[in-house]
Amino acid sequence: MATLVTLRELTADERRELERLARSRTEEARLVVRAKIVLRLAAGERPYQVAARIGVGRAAAYEWLHRFNAEGLKGLTDHPRPGRPHTYTPDQRAEVVAAALTKPQSLGLPFASWTLDRLQAYLGEHKGIGIKRTRIDEILVAEGLRWRKQETWVGQKVDPEFAAKRGRSRRSTRPRRTGRPSSASTRWARSRPRASRAPR
C-alpha cells in the first residue's frame, strides 16, 4: 500500500518567511505561488486540493512539497539551469544595473528615460560593454528591476499628479510623425525623449 507523502513540520522562522512571501507584492510571482502551496500543505490540505485551490497542476504541488521537505526555503527558488555560464563579470553586471538606476540627464544625455536600446548604446559607447538588449533585460530582471508603465525609467516613478497638471488634451493637437526605427533611439543627439514601454 502506498504511503501518503506529507509536508514536514515548519519551523517558526520558515512559517514567518512563507507568510511574508505569500503576501508579497514585490517578490517574483512564482515564489509567491510556491509559498502559498507550502502554507496550504502545512495547513493539512492534500496536494490535489492545493492544486485546485491555487490553480496549478497537481504535479507542481507535489514537486514543491518534495522540494521543501528536502531543501527547506532554498528549495523554492529555481535551480541553476544547465548551459553556457554568464559571459559578463560581476563588475559589468553592476555597471548595467547602475546605469539603469541613474537618470539619463544626470549623465549628460538628452532624454529623461531609458529604453533597452538606449541602455545598450550607452553601455557600449561609454562603458565599453558590448551587450545585447535581451541580456540587459535578463540582468535587470535578475536584480528585481522591472520596466513599468508607472515609471519613466527603472527605479524612478513619474509625478502622480502629471495628468492633472497637464490638463485635458486638445483635439486640435496635431498627430505626431511616425518615429524612426528603434535603432535611431541610440543616437543621443538626434533622438527625442521617449518613455519606455512596458512588455506585454
Q: Would you state the pLDDT for residue 37?
A: 94
Q: Write out pLDDT tens, residues 68-113.
A: 999 999 999 887 666 665 578 888 888 888 898 899 999 888 888 8
Q: Would you state the pLDDT for residue 42?
A: 94
Q: Would you state the pLDDT for residue 199?
A: 53
Q: Would you state the pLDDT for residue 138?
A: 85
Hey, what domains does the chain have and what are their CATH numbers? Answer: 12-76 (1.10.10), 90-168+182-186 (no CATH)
Backbone CA torsion sign across 5, 11, 17, 20: positive
Whether the per-residue pLDDT at 196 is higher than 80: the answer is no
Q: Would you state the pLDDT for residue 174?
A: 54
Which has the closest alpha carbon to 50: 60, 42, 61, 64? 61
Q: Would you state the pLDDT for residue 1?
A: 43
Q: Would you state the pLDDT for residue 56?
A: 86
Q: Would you state the pLDDT for residue 116?
A: 87
Q: Would you state the pLDDT for residue 142?
A: 81
Q: Would you state the pLDDT for residue 183?
A: 42
Q: Among all chains, which residue has been given the C-alpha cell 503576501?
A: 23
Q: Write out pLDDT tens, residues 123-178.
A: 988 888 888 888 888 888 888 776 654 344 454 443 445 445 444 444 444 555 55
pLDDT band at 197 (very low <50, low <70, confident <90, very high): low
Q: Write out pLDDT tens, residues 9-56.
A: 999 999 999 999 999 988 888 899 999 999 999 999 999 999 999 888
For the chain, give the longest Cα–Cα distance. 78
**CA 90/CA 88 separation, integer angstroms:** 7
Torsion of CA 183, 188, 192, 195, to 10 degrees: 70
CB 149 within 8 A of CB 195: no
